[in-house]
Amino acid sequence: MSDASIGTPDQLRDPNYTPPLTKAVPLGIQHVLAMFVSNVTPAIIVCGAAGFGFGSNSPDFPQMIYMIQMSMFFAGVATLFQSVGVGPIGARLPIVQGTSFAFIPIMIPLVAGKGVDAIAVLMGGIVAGGLFHAFLGLFIGRLRFALPPLVTGLVVTMIGLALVKVGVQYAAGGVPAIGTEEYGSGLNWFMAGTVILVTLGLKFFTRGMLSVSAVLIGLLVGYVVAFALGQVNLGSVGQAASFALPNPLHFGIEFSAAAVIGFCAMSFVSAIETVGDVSGITKGGAGREASDREIQGATYADGIGTAISGMFGALPNTSFSQNVGLIAMTGVMSRMVVTIGAIFLIICGLVPKIGA
């Protein structure tokens, strides 16, 4: 996508360069498209495991809509921490933050079948884990010698492998459906298979926006198929408000040893992932190594963004690797482009109907 109409090669490698708005806005929206579905999916998975997700008749179902809304809002806030920065917080690089999948294996056992009341324990773990993550920023730069690409790459791979079980369970019908006739039905596998085939087909056999937006388009096609099969209920959209602000301690907060230890341990893994992402951005977008200051600031932003998210009912935040690849593909290193995407996410987070 990079060409002379966006900027010169030197400008495109400069994080402080702002392309013309006619180019910067679509590029910012493209970053949002690349991460949008991955950003809200952890909230859907966690709420479903707790018992008030999709397919639930629980009166607490609107709580999932709120968590999805906060996932968008605080992904935008945390991205602004990274791209704009606040004092020592933030790498001031085009790093897109989003809800982390890495914590799902920690969160599901804490809430499985326990309803909305169990979310307070998650929030306590998220706040504690976020503060611990920010603390790691004090000395993360000194550990770079122990975090070469081989190590950070393996960590990202292990996170993905840990999520295979989650993906298979939800393709089969979701955790709440386990033990029922619906779980593992041919209809569920057909809908999941449709999404997978469309997504992979677009990802590997198209280019540009179609390829980058493969996950979003795959899910939209899945929705069309599910709607045709009578599996879609959009009643919650009409019930959702048109505007709502974040609500402090929406789910309450409760600290348990299991949650705090689990989130702090996984925060260390997430910090390693962030080191890899920052290094990938500077290498792929600017052709240089990341500085200690950039890695330290990115780690601070990860942790502070996560702690603040937990105070308002959102899940842990981390840097998103797919956006690192998007920067390498487009060749546009501008942090102003990512800032535009962050503002778009914040606006979406203020409209519950989008979450619904």
Quick: pLDDT tens for 247-262.
999 999 999 999 999 9
Most confident region among 3-7, 16-20, 100-104, 302-306 by mean pLDDT: 302-306
96 in Cβ contact with 343 (< 8 Å)? no
- Distant-in-sequence, close-in-space partners of 193: CB < 8 Å, separation ≥ 6: none
Q: What is the reported pLDDT for 235?
A: 73
More confident site: 251 or 49: 251
The dihedral sign for the CA sequence 211, 216, 217, 222 = positive
> How is the chain split into domains, by residue range?
10-168+233-355
Residue for token pair 């806005």: 25
Tell me what the mean pLDDT of segment 203-212 comes to. 76
Q: Is 113 exposed, middle or buried (0-12, 13-18, 19+ CB in 10 A)?
A: exposed
Query: How many of the other CB atoms lie within 10 Å of CB of 344?
Result: 18
Q: What is the reported pLDDT for 37?
A: 77
Q: For residue 156, is pLDDT > 90?
A: no
Q: For residue 312, is pLDDT > 90?
A: yes
The pTM of the full predicted model, rounded to 2 decimals, is 0.82
- Alpha-carbon span 230 to 191, nearest angstrom: 12
Tell me the pLDDT band of 1, cut-offs 50, 70 and 90: very low
Q: For residue 16, is pLDDT > 60?
A: yes
Q: For residue 111, is pLDDT > 60?
A: yes
Q: Mean pLDDT check: name the lowest of 66-80, 144-158, 283-297.
A: 144-158
228 in Cβ contact with 341 (< 8 Å)? no
More confident site: 63 or 150: 63
Closest CA to 288 of 296, 279, 297: 279
Helix, strand, coil percentages for the chain (3-state, nearest 5)? 70, 0, 30
- Alpha-carbon span 304 to 84, nearest angstrom: 14
Tell me what the mean pLDDT of segment 313-328 comes to. 87
- Alpha-carbon span 76 to 320, nearest angstrom: 12
- Alpha-carbon span 198 to 182, nearest angstrom: 24
Compute CA 49 distance to the chain's CA centroid, rounded to the nearest angstrom.
18
More confident site: 170 or 291: 291
Mean pLDDT rounded to a whole number for the chain: 87
More confident site: 73 or 208: 73
Query: How many of the other CB atoms lie within 10 Å of CB of 259?
Result: 25
